[in-house]
A and B are shown apart, each in its own frame.
Chain A
Amino acid sequence: AQSVTQLGSHVSVSEGALVLLRCNYSSSVPPYLFWYVQYPNQGLQLLLKYTSAATLVKGINGFEAEFKKSETSFHLTKPSAHMSDAAEYFCAVSEVAGGTSYGKLTFGQGTILTVHP
């Protein structure tokens, strides 16, 4: 069964500092991996996704993530944090099993990012 583990439920950085949010996955087949962001009182918004093309994926708002099969990781980074990046971030996995992909997402527990001035 597929699963996702996000290391660190809270991450705090200073404005302008590097953002690193960690995600490790478990999947018996090549996974599709996603990062979503949730701002307070809003739904989830897709930041980026990995679908077995390039291992370095660029997303919106300056975020990117690198798929590392050997480490079963898909960490999210941003070179310079902005106050508007403060939100909760979710890593998610979706499998293609038996040639069928239903699109359902399995989410990690989420990481709350705080950005200090």
Chain B
Amino acid sequence: DSGVTQTPKHLITATGQRVTLRCSPRSGDLSVYWYQQSLDQGLQFLIQYYNGEERAKGNILERFSAQQFPDLHSELNLSSLELGDSALYFCASSLRPTVTYEQYFGPGTRLTVT
């Protein structure tokens, strides 16, 4: 158990819908990362937050947005869903937002868009 929790574990929804994925980082960690794992694209970095502020952006679609709240939990919002958005979404957390601090991964949320 990494100490990072993600809810829900599974999510099935229809095209065009909007969903919210939630992540609670390990106790004490200030930085949160979101990654997407799909068969087509592999594991890709989406976005990073540190202490409530966006710090780095990767291959995140405009239909996707995220935020980190004052209690440090983070939410990833996916809207106007398409079939291709079906993937495993991981959240990771680290003490600080630099590479020298290990990232701890949650178990992921499996999103299926039908």
Contact among B2, B4, B44, B99 with A103 in the assembled complex (CB-CB below 8 Å): B99
Count class of interface residues, chain A: 20 to 34
Interface size on B, residues (CB 8 A): 27
Q: A107 — nearest CB in chain B belongs to which residue? A: B43
Going nearest first, the 10 A-B pairs with the smallest beta carbon separation are A43-B105, A107-B43, A102-B56, A94-B99, A44-B105, A101-B99, A101-B98, A104-B45, A103-B99, A32-B99
Which residue numbers of B lie inside 8 Å of A, CB to CB?
A: 2, 4, 31, 33, 35, 42-45, 48, 55-56, 58, 90, 92, 94, 97-103, 105-108
Which residue numbers of A lie inside 8 Å of B, CB to CB?
A: 32, 36, 41-46, 49, 51, 90, 94-96, 101-110
A-B contact pairs, 6 of them (CB 8 A): A101-B99, A101-B100, A102-B55, A103-B48, A103-B56, A103-B97
